[in-house]
Amino acid sequence: MEKWSTFAEIAGGAAAALTGLLFVAVSIRIGVIAKSQELRNRAAQTLALFVAVLFVGILLSIPDQSFRILGIELVALAVISVVAMLVLDRRASAGPDPRDDTANALASILELVAPKCRHIDPAPDRRFAPGRRDGRGP
């Protein structure tokens, strides 16, 4: 198991960094993501996958752990991850639910974390002109 410790550290560190970047990306586009059930659930799937990799790295880094216990932990993590992916995928594919309190709670939490993030959504056919933030030209 010693040979895997460096890999586990690198994978865990990368997963932690990508999890942080996901929070930044979601907070930048909070207005769009909060309105779309599909985007919220896709972001949750991405978060769950990064956290699963992080947990695998943590489990592989535990010293003096028997292979049997490690195997049980990895299988349990895999089952939990698969169930979470299936539930989130089903919710993302479903139509919008106006009574979705989870989305409102997530949007509130993200607004607390990043209250000054601005939503910029230029039309696809518009180009940003130098010196202007609205894309209308000089």
Q: Tell if the pTM clears 0.75, that is, is over it.
A: no
- pLDDT computed for residue 136 by the predictor: 54
Can you tell me which residue has the tokens 């930048």?
28
- pLDDT computed for residue 91 by the predictor: 81
- pLDDT computed for residue 90 by the predictor: 84
pLDDT-based confidence at residue 77 (cuts at 50, 70, 90): very high
Instruction: Decide if pLDDT at 127 tops 90.
Output: no
Q: What Rg do the C-alpha atoms of the chain give, in angstroms?
A: 20
Mean pLDDT of the chain: 77
User: How many alpha carbons lie under 13 Å from residue 128 in its C-beta half-sphere?
Assistant: 8
Q: Where along the chain do its domains lie?
A: 2-113
Contact 23, 113 (CB under 8 A): yes
Q: Average pLDDT in the 88-112 region?
A: 67
87: left (phi over 0), alpha (psi -120 to 50) or beta: alpha
Q: Average pLDDT in the 78-101 region?
A: 78
pLDDT-based confidence at residue 120 (cuts at 50, 70, 90): very low
- pLDDT computed for residue 131 by the predictor: 54
Show the tokens assigned to 20.
Answer: 């942080």
Q: Average pLDDT in the 93-118 region?
A: 61
Predicted confidence (pLDDT) per residue in 20-43, tens digit: 988 898 888 888 888 888 888 888
Q: 101-113 vs 5-28: helix axis angle to the nearest 10? A: 100
- pLDDT computed for residue 89 by the predictor: 84
Question: Cα separation of 19 and 106, whole Å?
Answer: 16
Show the tokens assigned to 58.
Answer: 């943590």
Question: Cα separation of 130 and 119, whole Å?
Answer: 19
